[in-house]
Each structure stands twice: as structure tokens, then as C-alpha cells.
Amino acid sequence: MLPNLPSTNKKIFTKVNKEIILIHQDSMATMNFNSCNCYLININNKEYAIIDPGCSKRKLYTTLKQNEINFSEIKYFYITHGHSDHIGLIDYLQKKNRGIQGYIHKLDKRFIESSKEYYSMLFDISLLENNKKYKDFIDTIKYYTTPNSTIPIKQSFKMIFDIWNIKNRKISNTFKDGEILPGNLKVIHAPGHTPGMCMLFKENEYLLFSSDIHLSSIGPNFSGNYTNISDFKSSINKIIKFVESGLVKVILSGHGKNPITEKLKNRLLDFYKGIRTKENQLLMLLQEKGNLTLEQITKETFKEYIKRFDKFLHKTKLRDTIVIAEASEMMSNLNILKELERLGKVSKLKRQNEIYWS
């Protein structure tokens, strides 16, 4: 029986061309925020690959049925990076077709195969453990990563973690930069968002699956514990060069409205600007207030986001989980500060085990 998953995006799929079907992500407005755009690629005749199976079961089932595609005909799934919104249907696909072959870059493979590694990818656990504010969050991580755990956790946190659906999964293969996958897709390693994030390039069609260099109104996400801002910038610039040289004329990304065919360079520059805006925000804050701890910086910057998250966490039973968003903001700030330090724009001092920036 298929789950009843409402969505404000009524359009389930779009045929991009004769080979590619876009299955649209679910809307955050329905709390189905563990979702991304995913893509069915016709490899030859009745063989298919699926890129980032992070849509709902209902949308995948409906898309296959309306296009007369059987699960047995999906031979491969390609994961562009190891975040939960890009991997949700791996188990479902493996159950429906036991011979399906999965691929991911080797640097992100462990995040899929170990839930403990996954949460370490998102958050610096030791940093959060030093702050009592995050105790319930840390307890929930321990609950979900410790076999036969008896740690009591709040129902509100359990609801969020159940949506994330993180668990130990198996993925059979890895790919590497420059490799050509079935479907004539060239792997382009694009680290920064995660260490192993990759884009997939269909060169003969001037088409790039850009993963989470997604150009949507959400802007870049750089909140991971292993996020590297310098690498992220380089990966964005890599696409800009592809566009400038005429190699890429269509972008299919992990989020937002797709396909993207107009003003590609301007939209990529706007996406890049999201990182620069955050850098400038922290520089201005430090210039105004002087040396601050990371916690103090996050207290200031998170004020701007409280209303945004309140929209999704308006229910009383979920309100206390806003600390998860605040922890993500802290990681974003830390990553930007590391980049500003690399650029020589801030200096890091350690006093009484707290990090100060000036």
C-alpha cells in the first residue's frame, strides 16, 4: 500500500526530452522536506538509470506506471552525494529489483553505509555536546546510532528523525571523476557541499545534472561538518567555465524548478553570491561587535531565520526541534569563518576552550 503523501507540487513528473524524465521533489510546505528532484534516464530500449532517488514512493510509482516502466528495467541508481534527501528510496529500489546496481563517489559512501558517520558528516558532535541547549538533539542522534538503545528521547525529535530515515544502507559500487557511466554520463567530481559530491555530464546533449549546486531560491547549503567552502566555490566556478565555453546549455539540479535553460551564468553567479553574502554578514558583525564566540555569532545570525523555520515548526509539539536548525546555522557560520581565516580576513584565537574570531 502506498503512503498518502500530500504535495503542493501537483505536477508529478516532466519529460525533459525523449531520454530524461524529471520527477519533481515534494514541497517543504507539507513537511516532506526530505526530498529532491530525481531523474529517470533511458539508457537503451527498456533499460533505465535513476539519479538521486529522493522523491516520494507515490511519485516514483505513478511516474513508472504512466510511462510503462517496470522496476526490473531500472538497472542502476546514481547518488550525487550522501545527504538523506537524495537517497530515501534506495531500500525501496533494492527491494523491487534485487539486481539493481548503485553508485556513489567513494568519499561519500561511508555516510550512506553508517548512520553514525552520517550524523558526523552533518554536525560536529563534540562541539554541540558542550552546549546544554543541544542535549535532546544529541541524545536523539545517540538513540538512532546505538544498537538496542534505551536512551529516552522526545517524540518531537523522533518525528524529525523518522522523516530523515537515516540507517545503515548498502551501496554496491563507487564511481570516480572522469568515469563514463551507463547512459553516457560523465562523472564530474564537485566537492564542497560534501567531500564526494559529483555532477553528471551528458556531453553530447550539453546537459549537466548539477546536484546541490541547484540555483534555487533556497541558495547554497554549507552547513555540513565536512563542508569545505573553498572547494564549494571552485565547483561552482567549474560549471561557470562549462557554461562560458558552451559545453553546458541545460542544467538539471537537485532542487527548485527545472530544467534550467536561461541566464545560466547569471544564475550561477547569484548562487555563488549566496556564499559571499554570508561572508560579508559575519565580517560586518565582527567589525561591529568585536571578538565573539561561535555561539555568540550564531545567536546573532539565527535571529534572521527564526521566522522562516517557525513557518514549518509552528506546531507546539515540534517547536523545540528548532535547535536542529540552529545547530545547522552554527555549522554554516563555522565553515564560513574557516574560509575567512583561510583568506586572511579573520584570525582565530583560543581562550578558555572557546573559539573567538576577530
Q: What is the pLDDT of residues 299-355, one digit of tens each?
A: 999 987 787 777 666 666 788 888 999 999 999 999 999 999 999 998 875 544 556
Which of 211, 229, 219 is closest to 333 using CA atoms?
229
Whether 198 and 79 have beta carbons less than 8 Å apart is answered as: no
pLDDT number for residue 355: 62
Which of 354, 350, 306 is closest to 329 using CA atoms?
306
φ, ψ of residue 300 to 5 degrees: the values are: -75, -50
Average pLDDT, the chain: 91
Whether 208 and 251 have beta carbons less than 8 Å apart is answered as: yes
pLDDT number for residue 149: 85
174 Cβ contact list (under 8 Å, min separation 6)? 103, 104, 105, 106, 109
Q: What angle do CA 58, 63, 69 make, to 5 degrees?
A: 120
Residue 165 CA to residue 151 CA, distance in Å, equals 18
Residue 275 CA to residue 351 CA, distance in Å, equals 28
Residue 272, C-alpha cell as written in the block:
555563488
* C-alpha pair distances (Å), 309 with each of 69, 279, 321: 38, 22, 10
Task: For residue 159, count CB atoms less than 10 angstroms from its CB and return exposed for 0-12, middle for 13-18, buried for 19 or more.
Answer: middle
Strands 207-211 and 250-253: parallel
pLDDT number for residue 238: 98
Please identify which residue in the block is written with the cell numbers 584570525: 347
For 137-150, how does the pLDDT look when each residue is reduced to its tens digit (9 = 90+)? Answer: 999 999 999 988 88
296 Cβ contact list (under 8 Å, min separation 6)? 289
pLDDT number for residue 290: 84
- Sheet strands (E) in 168-277: 173-175, 180-181, 185-189, 198-202, 207-211, 250-253
* C-alpha pair distances (Å), 215 with each of 181, 238, 252, 304: 25, 14, 10, 21
pLDDT number for residue 2: 31
* C-alpha pair distances (Å), 266 with each of 178, 256, 261, 337: 27, 16, 12, 26
Residue 240 CA to residue 81 CA, distance in Å, equals 20
Residue ranges of the chain whose pLDDT lies below 70: 1-9, 27-33, 311-316, 349-358
Whether 136 and 153 have beta carbons less than 8 Å apart is answered as: yes
